[in-house]
Structure 1
């Protein structure tokens, strides 16, 4: 499940709305139920779940309700079932159940559409047999797609491609690192300062195209088990070199074994969230919570993301990192002005 926000879409033009979904989700949805919430006439949270026999309709409604939208629109994406009468009966039952669950939270389901594929020329029709139908416009020509590219977001053809950004690249190598990682939390201020500086240096290396040694990766993994080090590093997400730090967290996410991987994933999720990349934040948090379902920061960010909390509010969490850096005597990159791309 992922969420995002957007200021621009058309309630009365399903072909345009559906074409905008890849830009909002970060990938082209397939075999999915997508719920677009509407708040005072504008797009709110956008949630996606796999179509399955045990589809969590009640949970989808609960998550949608956290943002307190006025209404919602459902889109069923299923190439195999879009032209199947029996399948359409099933989707009508599904959306009726969803409408009831949403109504229990004071949310009106305005419309429900079935589409065979979210691509130029794809066909949609209303689930309830109202007779409305049409063609999907080119998703790559959507204003939301253009905005995503300008924001530096990459759009993926499949959700699996987005998940590969954080997938462990060499499981055997990652497993071998486990024996070399030292979990010695409770560092002195001098040790914490050295580790923060080492992380900043490693971020510059990764951004420059250099591969980190296993020894450096192991050192950073151990450093992230120290709360002072970890919490200081959250501040990098709002600094002028945020892009370098995000590259480092993605690299560590792909190279570290569990349970050390979880901290890199949450740092990556935070970095993506504060720059408005809800899709990357979502898959990173999903992976982090699979590693450790009790991780407090991961759970808090996941709740905020699914509730549609604006990135500007999440950025304030970085203030703790700057305070810790001052205490440690670490010079962090200055805060960047948002609306400009990080270096």
Structure 2
């Protein structure tokens, strides 16, 4: 998973600062993870995380590193492992340091059991308190949360089981409301409802959320909505579509989840984007946006390129309409 840091949120002066800001860049405190930080011209361009187990097979870590350096060929990289068993963390760190060579920035570090070592597994241990660093405090002030565990991201996408009857009733009313709409009306309704909802996502009722959740299933309406996503509004989009996902009955969440994943990516929240994609895989559905989202991840495309991608997406839609 990735987190773009196109807006400065903290000044990292030393390793304790780096360890303090990592949970805020990811959105949660990592466990059994390798964190790879791409630094170019003194700026953190990308923070990526992978499970230690996924990187243990031969060449998996090395290929991940190569993909990042292909994207930022002049950059350097800092590696931090989080492992209950230090040996597992250091085994991967040694492979990463060997593969990076001169592109390695600073000494690798391994966090284990509330303490960390730097450089190698024989060095002294230091207390690990990520919340105490100035960088962590700055990230918090900028609104970057650090949840205690990754699973909390998935939990925030799930509806309250006690509200199931209300959710179903709202969805049924939305279906009845949509029955007389023609294709152009679906587009107008979605764009109008979306513009209104973004002004106060927290103030929406269950019927309004269900209405958005239904309208986004119309392909032309969805495409026009996606084109209206401005980077400056991405935070509001994340809040809104998180609420919409929770307001949709099970089995109807795929399109809202895909839109939320896109908004999360534009907002630099790679952790939430990845969790959305995992939820889609678990549900066994592939909405139209999913291929694009996976291509963005495979190509390690930073959110800063969304404006250019949006222009190209609009051109493709216009060509399709003309044809």
Q: Give the alignment's TM-score, normalised by structure 1.
A: 0.69
1:141-185 deviation line (CA, Å, top 9, x unaligned) = 4336524532x433322222233222333385599479847699x
* Contact 2:2 2:269 (8 Å CA) reproduced: no
- Judged with a 3 Å threshold, the aligned counterparts in structure 2 of structure 1 residues 114 and 245 are, in CA distance, closer, same or farther, namely closer
1:77: how far off?
1.8
Matched, 1:160 2:151: yes
- Judged with a 3 Å threshold, the aligned counterparts in structure 2 of structure 1 residues 35 and 177 are, in CA distance, closer, same or farther, namely farther
- Judged with a 3 Å threshold, the aligned counterparts in structure 2 of structure 1 residues 251 and 59 are, in CA distance, closer, same or farther, namely farther
Q: Which residue of 1 aligns with 2:91?
A: 93
RMSD value, Cα: 4.2
* Contact 2:78 2:106 (8 Å CA) reproduced: yes
1:250: how far off?
0.8
Q: Which residue of 2 aligns with 1:225?
A: 217
Matched, 1:123 2:119: no
* Contact 1:235 1:318 (8 Å CA) reproduced: yes
- Judged with a 3 Å threshold, the aligned counterparts in structure 2 of structure 1 residues 126 and 245 are, in CA distance, closer, same or farther, namely closer
The number of residues matched between the two structures is 306
Instruction: Give the counterpart of 2:110 among 114, 119, 123.
Output: 114
Q: Report the Cα distance in structure 1 between the residues aligned to 2:197 and 2:43, rounded to whole angstroms.
A: 42
Q: Which residue of 2 aligns with 1:329?
A: none
Which is richer in helix? Answer: 2
Q: Which residue of 1 aligns with 2:289?
A: 297
- Judged with a 3 Å threshold, the aligned counterparts in structure 2 of structure 1 residues 62 and 195 are, in CA distance, closer, same or farther, namely same
- Judged with a 3 Å threshold, the aligned counterparts in structure 2 of structure 1 residues 296 and 198 are, in CA distance, closer, same or farther, namely closer
Instruction: Give the counterpart of 1:260 among 231, 252, 256.
Output: 252
Structure 2 counterpart SS, 1:128: coil
Q: Which residue of 2 aligns with 1:74?
A: 79
Q: Report the Cα distance in structure 2 between the residues aligned to 1:144 and 1:323, rounded to whole angstroms.
A: 41
Structure 1 counterpart SS, 2:91: helix
Structure 2 counterpart SS, 1:225: coil
Instruction: Give the counterpart of 1:207 among 185, 202, 208.
Output: 202
1:245-294 deviation line (CA, Å, top 9, x unaligned) = 43331112123245531221222222233333333333333333444574
1:79-126 deviation line (CA, Å, top 9, x unaligned) = xx4xxxxx43343333344456x45x9965864322135xxxx42113
Q: Which residue of 2 aligns with 1:14?
A: 15
* Contact 2:190 2:212 (8 Å CA) reproduced: yes
Identify unmatched segments of 5+ residues in structure 1.
82-86, 327-343
Q: Which residue of 2 aligns with 1:3?
A: 3
* Contact 1:63 1:306 (8 Å CA) reproduced: no
1:232: how far off?
1.6
Q: Which residue of 1 aligns with 2:186?
A: 191
1:19: how far off?
1.8
Q: Give the alignment's TM-score, normalised by structure 2.
A: 0.73
Q: Report the Cα distance in structure 2 between the residues aligned to 1:106 and 1:299, rounded to whole angstroms.
A: 35
